[in-house]
Amino acid sequence: FSSSGINAEYGVRRWGGMISTPDNVLQGHIRRSLQDSGCPARLLNELMNYSHERKWPGGLNSLEMRQVNRVCYEQYVTRRVPGRQAVVVLFLENQHMDASFVRNPGMVLIFAHGID
C-alpha cells in the first residue's frame, strides 16, 4: 500500500476539533473512504482499530493529555482521508515523533472541523 490513494500531507488547523470517541456510523464512513482509496484490508482494519481514544497512544488518550500535548501535534505528518474530516498518521512517516504519539502501523484521527 502506498499513500498515493490518500492525499499528500495535510494540515490540521484545529486540533481541538478532534473526535475522540467516534461512533460506529462515523467510523464506517471513514472505513469506506479508505477502502475506496485502495487501502488494503489488513492495514485498514489496523488503522480503524486505532481511531478511538481508548486505543490511542499515551500522548493522545485523554482530553487532559491532548490539551497538554497539543503543541506537539503540529509535528505530525498527516494524510487526509478523501472526502472526510479525517487524517491518517502513518508510523513510517512519523518516526520522528516520540513513541507516546504514534501507533504502528498508524492511526486515524477524525475531526468535527478544521482540516485544511
Query: In a structure prediction context, what are the per-residue pLDDT tens digits for the chain, which is 116 residues long?
Result: 445 456 556 667 777 788 999 999 999 999 999 999 999 999 999 999 999 999 999 999 999 999 999 889 889 999 999 999 999 999 999 999 999 999 999 999 999 987 86
Specify the pLDDT at position 74. Answer: 86
Element (H, E) at 80: strand 79-80
* Residues 89 and 47: beta-carbon distance below 8 Å: no
> Helix, strand, coil shares of the chain as percentages rounded to 5?
45, 15, 40
> What DSSP character marks residue 99?
G
Helix (H, G, I), strand (E, B) or coil at 10: coil
Specify the pLDDT at position 15. Answer: 77
User: How far is Cα 1 from Cα 16, in angstroms, rounded to an integer?
Assistant: 30
Q: Is the bond leading into 82 cis (omega within 30 degrees of zero)?
A: no
